[in-house]
Amino acid sequence: MRRDFCDGVGVAHLLNATLVLPKFEVAAYWNESSDFADIFEADYFIQHMDGFVKVVKELPPEISSKEPFHVDCSKRKGQFDYVESVLPALLEHKYISLTPAMSQRRDRYPRFAKAALCQACYSALRLTRSLQKKAAELLEAIPKPFLSLHLRFEPDMVAYSQCEYQGLSPTSMQAIEAARGDRKPWTGEVAHIWRRRGKCPLTPNETALILQALSIPTNTNIYLAAGDGLMEIEGLTSVYTNVVTKSALRTGEDFTRMHGNTKAALDYYVSINSDSYMATYFGNMDKMVAAMRAFKGLYKTLFLSRKAFAEFTYQGLEGKELMQALWKVHRDDFLMGRGSALPDCFCEFEL
């Protein structure tokens, strides 16, 4: 959500258009619908985007009464895609809505559009005061120092990956099957190739093994930045015993009324302020967290390598040999800045 909105700011600047604060779609996974102002400070955002992009909370009735012309931008990548394909629709219809581009190439934006996008992402987007207060209280409650671990092993995530797993509990297998729908798992040689490409989420047990290979003590304080429905969590907590979650630390009625988007905002806030951050998947939150941490000068950030783990286990490595191979590949990733030097971080040099 944050990523798509930042991209929208860049596109609005490219097209010299006025940006309307979005009404976020109802998310089936989160089972909720949130408006922009439920999560971010709307007035603060508008004020801090002044001079970059004109932002309004809503359109005049004569315009808002009509449905916007929809433009699919899912395959747009750079400046000229928008100027040549989207701008004519805007000029004709005056009011358009965009499908976000999943493979946006922000590094291809001209400097002025980068500046607008970066102003939005790193300066203008601020959580509401009440949400920021809850996030700060959560951060204060976590034992220090701590590692924030973004672990993804929910039924829908596994189903979407089309990966098959052995040794999961019957409850987990039933949850995965219920979430699969038409997405059947790969089988045979295709399944091996898919896994070796790093397409399969790490299980909590595999995550614990990699953390041990990285010589992370088993008494490390770990904040689990994860949504509801995480499966097989005992595979991690049986090895790393000091794992805490937001639901365990904040049990008040106010917290229990919170839903997915606002809870995800808490995870984001804690993760960008953690002593170190690791993720088992290279998803949208991980990219935004890593970029913000680099922007703030916090470089203890690492993405655990699904591809390396799959390759080493496919080769038959186990025990000490597997642990040494995992340690070496993650050491090299960290030294090379993977997880810190992301394309989003061009903003530090553009503002």
For residues 225 and 82, the model is more confident at 225
Instruction: Check whether residue 223 and residue 319 sit in a common domain.
Output: yes
Asked if the structure places residue 341 within a domain, the reply is no
What does the alpha-carbon distance between residue 121 and residue 293 come to, in Å, rounded to a whole number?
12
Q: Judge whether 36 and 9 are in contact, CB under 8 Å.
A: no
pLDDT at 154 over 90: yes
Residue 29 has what pLDDT?
46
- Which two structure tokens, joined as six digits, stand for 142? 């976590």
Residue 304 above 80 pLDDT?
Answer: yes
Confidence of residue 105 (pLDDT cuts 50, 70, 90): low
**Higher per-residue pLDDT: 148 or 283:** 148
Q: Which two tokens stand for residue 49?
A: 């985007």
CA pair distance 211, 30, nearest whole angstrom: 29
Q: Is 71 within 8 Å of 89 (Cβ atoms)?
A: yes
**pLDDT for the residue numbered 336:** 77
Q: Please give the pLDDT value at position 107.
A: 65
80 and 136, same domain (yes or no)? no
Q: Is residue 316 part of a domain?
A: yes
Query: Crossing angle for the helix pair 260-272 and 129-141, nearest 10 degrees?
Result: 60
Q: Does 15 share its domain with 105?
A: yes
User: Do the domain assignments include residue 170?
Assistant: no
Verify that 140 and 263 share a domain, yes or no.
yes
- Claim to verify: residue 27 and residue 83 sit in the same structural domain: yes
Same domain, 326 and 215: yes
Q: In this structure, what token pair is assigned to residue 44?
A: 């603060």
pLDDT value at 24 more than 90: no
Q: Is residue 187 part of a domain?
A: no
Give domain status of residue 94, yes or no: yes
Q: Alpha helix locations (H) across the chain?
A: 2-14, 36-39, 42-48, 61-64, 79-85, 87-93, 111-119, 129-141, 155-161, 170-180, 188-196, 204-213, 234-237, 246-249, 253-256, 260-272, 284-295, 306-314, 319-335, 347-350
More confident site: 29 or 309:
309
User: For the residues 168-192, what does the mean pLDDT come to?
Assistant: 94
> What is the reported pTM?
0.89
Q: When comparing pLDDT for 291 and 310, which is higher?
A: 310
Q: Widest CA span of the chain, in angstroms?
A: 69
State pLDDT tens for residues 25-58: 655 444 555 688 889 999 999 999 999 999 999 8
Q: How confident is the model at residue 273 (pLDDT cuts 50, 70, 90)?
A: very high
The CATH number assigned to the domain holding 223 equals 3.40.50
pLDDT surpassing 70 at residue 350: no
Q: Is residue 1 part of a domain?
A: yes
**Do 98 and 134 sit in the same domain of this protein?**
no
For residues 59 and 149, state if they share a domain: no
CA atoms of 93 and 88, how far apart (whole Å): 9
For residues 92 and 34, membership in a common domain is answered with yes
Residue 180 resides in a domain: no
State the average pLDDT over residues 80-98: 88
Average of pLDDT values for 252-264? 77
What DSSP designation does 57 have?
Answer: S
The mean pLDDT of 112-138, rounded to a whole number, is: 92
Q: Which of 318, 118, 146, 283 is nearest to 216 (CA)?
A: 146
- 344 pLDDT exceeds 70? no
Same domain, 147 and 255: yes
User: Contact, 75 vs 103, CB < 8 A?
Assistant: yes
CB-neighbour burial class of residue 38 (10 A; exposed 0-12, middle 13-18, buried 19+): middle
Whether residue 142 sits in one domain with residue 102: no
- Output the CA torsion sign for 230, 245, 286, 334: negative
Q: Is residue 186 part of a domain?
A: no
Domain count, the chain: 2
| Domain limits for position 146 | 130-153+201-336
Does the pLDDT at position 348 exceed 50? no
- pLDDT at 28 (0 to 100): 47
Answer yes or no: is pLDDT of 161 > 90: yes
Non-local CB neighbours of 227 within 8 Å, separated by 6+ positions: 29, 154, 260, 263, 264
Q: What angle do CA 114, 98, 269 make, to 5 degrees?
A: 60
Query: Looking at the structure, do residues 46 and 142 belong to the same domain, yes or no?
Result: no
Tell me the average pLDDT across 175-185: 92
pLDDT exceeds 60 at position 91: yes
Mind listing the pLDDT tens digit for each residue in 52-87?
A: 999 999 888 888 888 889 988 777 656 777 888 889
